[in-house]
């Protein structure tokens, strides 16, 4: 069976529409209908207390809040996030009691509607601007974390609110995904890279479970794969079609079969253990004891939104998974590797050859690992991805465990992949990042790893919101 891709496209939102008796109930009724329509248009599902259960179809009194909380509790396993909408001032107690009694533990978006300058009479004034402050004050008193819209107030039928919904959906995906993540550790980290040390206990405190397996088990399983099965034949065709083989590779068919066996063995183990992302021991045991690079397998899995990182970088692949959850795009693990001539806001991100094809943005070549091949022998090192990433927007992200202070921390920022040439083998990306030297000083001073995760999209705000507001992690946002 292929590995299941767990990123949700359609989310389910619990909805609370607030109202206050001295304001127009019709505004609440209209706001309720508009919000539900916007969620449907965005492709999401909504759960809201039936309108007939309260006098206005909105939440105001203690009795309304109890009904709402009971309704949410009946559906708690379906709910990915809560949206609180204030079409008028709203009653802060009705809203905070409903949330406090339900205790859903999911992200909450608080939205308040714009007043219109030509509709400030008693029947149409909203005062949601003020009501939102009151609601948020109560949320803080009760210790309930929440997320705001980009502007303090926003019209429900506006393009800006549609962007708020998209942002909040990303926050929900990242939060829920990380709180329930199962990260594979395939093999031991290379002894030479103490930078890949990580605290499983600190990750577990946030809901992230690390599942280890000895590399020998994967190699043994690979050697037992039935390459004559229909599944194997289909996967072999997929592997061969993933990229063009570099000229001059000897014994190509035998080498592709090696990768077929490795891929299926790793896939079977991930499926059996419900793995969301994995770090691989990618050198030197796999080359010396099995006879190929892991890069091709990692690249193809990452391209299928099952992120895989080099050197058993558990924290790094967790960041890759967060980027996938936020964007739905393949992520890569890279080295902060080279300066770019004298341009101090450019650098080169490089790895031996693990970049997924969707991250590169164009066809790739499958070759021998250049550096390891020169040491271990090219015959043992087939399977690296040679490619240079196409220009476009990107987000970079690093998570790390700070064992000395008992914290999970990280940094995040945005930049661009550029078309600048760089004559080096392997997987290459030339990056342009504002104030890069400041970022590099921060990385070094704070003792972060040389690995960083990247994705071809810009999502730093959603990552930051999920990590800080809902996971309680320490994040530096570079600008």
pLDDT on residue 66? 98
What does the pLDDT look like over 220-236, one tens digit per residue? 999 999 999 999 999 99
Residue 186's H or E segment, with its range, is strand 182-186
Is the C-alpha dihedral spanning 222, 227, 230, 235 positive or negative?
positive
Q: What is the largest CA-CA distance in the chain?
A: 82
Q: Report the predicted TM-score, pTM, of the whole model to 2 decimal places.
A: 0.97
pLDDT of residue 6: 63
- Tell me whether strands 147-148 and 382-388 are parallel, antiparallel or unpaired: unpaired
Q: How confident is the model at residue 22 (pLDDT cuts 50, 70, 90)?
A: confident
Q: Is residue 5 part of a domain?
A: no
Per-residue pLDDT for 294 more than 80? Answer: yes
In a domain, 36, yes or no: yes
Does residue 2 lie within any of the structural domains?
no
> Averaged over 404-422, what is the pLDDT?
98
Select from 151, 170, 189 the last residue of a domain: 170
Write out the residue range of the structural domain in which residue 26 sits.
12-170
Percent of the chain surpassing pLDDT 70? 99
Instruction: Give the model confidence (pLDDT) of 74-124 as tens digits.
Output: 999 999 999 999 999 999 999 999 999 999 999 999 999 999 999 989 889
First to last CA, the chain: 43
What is the Cα–Cα distance from 281 to 432, expressed in whole angstroms?
Answer: 30
Closest CA to 451 of 442, 459, 460, 443: 443
- Which of 408, 222, 234, 389 has the alpha carbon at shortest distance from 314? 408
pLDDT tens figures, 448-458: 999 999 999 99
Regarding whether 162 and 199 lie in a shared domain, the answer is: no
Q: Are residues 330 and 271 in the same domain?
A: yes
CA 150 to chain centroid: 20
Name the CA radius of gyration of the chain, rounded. Answer: 25
Mean predicted lDDT score pLDDT of the chain: 96
67 within a domain of the structure (yes/no) = yes
Pairing verdict, β 451-455 and 331-340 = antiparallel
Q: What is the CATH number of the domain that holds 387?
A: 3.40.275.10
Instruction: From 340, 314, 67, 113, select the one nearest 212 (Cα to Cα).
Output: 314
The yes-or-no verdict on residue 2 having pLDDT over 60 is: no
* CATH value at residue 155: 3.40.50.10940
Element (H, E) at 147: strand 147-148
How many structural domains are present in the chain? Answer: 2
pLDDT digits (tens, 9 = 90+) for 31-80: 999 999 999 999 999 999 999 999 999 999 999 999 999 999 999 999 99
pLDDT digits (tens, 9 = 90+) for 222-281: 999 999 999 999 999 999 999 999 999 999 999 999 999 999 999 999 999 999 999 999
pLDDT above 90: residue 23: no
Of 170, 201, 235, the position where a domain reaches its end is: 170
Task: For residues 264 and 416, give the distance between their C-alpha atoms in angstroms, rounded to a whole number.
Answer: 35
Mean local confidence (pLDDT), 438-455: 98
- At residue 48, the pLDDT reads 98
Domain boundary among 170, 188, 216: 170
For residue 5, pLDDT over 70 is answered with no
Q: How confident is the model at residue 1 (pLDDT cuts 50, 70, 90)?
A: very low
pLDDT tens digits for range 180-200: 999 999 999 988 889 999 999
Residue 39 lies in a domain: yes
**Closest among 94, 82, 386, 397 to 243, alpha carbons compared:** 386
Q: Is residue 6 part of a domain?
A: no
Residue 4 scores a pLDDT above 80:
no
Q: What is the DSSP string of 279-323?
A: EE--SSHHHHHT-S-SHHHHHHHHHTT--EEGGG-HHHHHHHHHH
pLDDT of res. 326: 98
Is 3's pLDDT higher than 50? no
Of 294, 375, 368, the C-alpha closest to 333 is 294
């Amino acid at each position: 069976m292929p590995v299941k891709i767990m990123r949700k496209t359609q989310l389910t939102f619990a909805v609370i529409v607030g109202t206050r008796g001295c304001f127009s109930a019709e505004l609440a009724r209209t706001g309720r209908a508009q919000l539900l329509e916007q969620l449907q248009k965005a492709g999401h599902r909504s759960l809201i207390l039936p309108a007939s259960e309260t006098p206005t179809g909105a939440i105001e009194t203690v009795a309304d809040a109890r009904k709402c909380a009971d309704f949410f509790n009946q559906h708690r396993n379906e709910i990915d996030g809560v949206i609180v909408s204030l079409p008028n001032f709203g009653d802060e107690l009705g809203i905070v009691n409903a949330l406090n009694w339900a205790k859903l533990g999911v992200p909450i978006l608080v939205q308040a509607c714009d007043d219109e300058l030509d509709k400030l009479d008693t029947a149409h004034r909203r005062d949601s601007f003020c009501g939102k402050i009151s609601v948020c004050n109560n949320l803080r008193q009760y210790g309930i974390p929440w997320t705001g819209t980009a502007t303090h107030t926003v019209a429900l039928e506006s393009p800006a609110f549609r962007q708020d919904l998209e942002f909040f959906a990303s926050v929900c995906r990242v939060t829920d995904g990380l709180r329930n993540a199962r990260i594979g550790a395939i093999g031991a980290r290379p002894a030479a890279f103490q930078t890949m040390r990580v605290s499983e206990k600190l990750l577990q405190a946030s809901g992230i479970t690390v599942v280890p397996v000895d590399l020998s088990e994967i190699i043994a399983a690979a050697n037992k794969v039935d390459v004559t099965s229909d599944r194997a034949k289909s996967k072999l065709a997929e592997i061969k079609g993933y990229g063009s083989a570099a000229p001059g590779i000897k014994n190509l068919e035998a080498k592709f079969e090696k990768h077929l066996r490795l891929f299926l063995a790793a896939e079977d183990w991930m499926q059996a253990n419900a793995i969301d992302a994995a770090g691989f021991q990618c050198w030197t045991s796999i080359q010396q004891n099995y006879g190929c690079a892991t890069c091709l397998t990692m690249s193809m899995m990452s391209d299928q939104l099952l992120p895989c990182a080099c050197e058993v970088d558990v924290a790094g692949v967790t960041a890759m998974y967060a980027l996938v959850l936020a964007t739905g795009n393949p992520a890569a693990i890279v080295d902060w590797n080279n300066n770019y001539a004298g341009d101090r806001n450019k650098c080169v991100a490089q790895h031996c050859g693990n970049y997924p094809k969707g991250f590169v943005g164009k066809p790739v070549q499958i070759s021998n690992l250049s550096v390891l091949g020169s040491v271990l022998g090219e015959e043992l090192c087939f399977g690296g991805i040679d490619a240079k990433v196409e220009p476009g927007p990107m987000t970079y992200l690093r998570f790390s465990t700070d064992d000395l202070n008992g914290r999970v921390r990280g940094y995040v920022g945005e930049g661009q992949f550029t078309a600048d040439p760089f004559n080096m083998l392997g997987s290459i990306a030339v990056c342009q990042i504002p104030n890069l030297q400041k970022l590099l000083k921060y990385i070094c001073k704070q003792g972060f790893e040389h690995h960083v995760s990247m994705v071809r999209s810009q999502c730093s705000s959603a990552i930051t919101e999920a990590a800080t507001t809902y996971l309680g992690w320490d994040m530096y946002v570079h600008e």
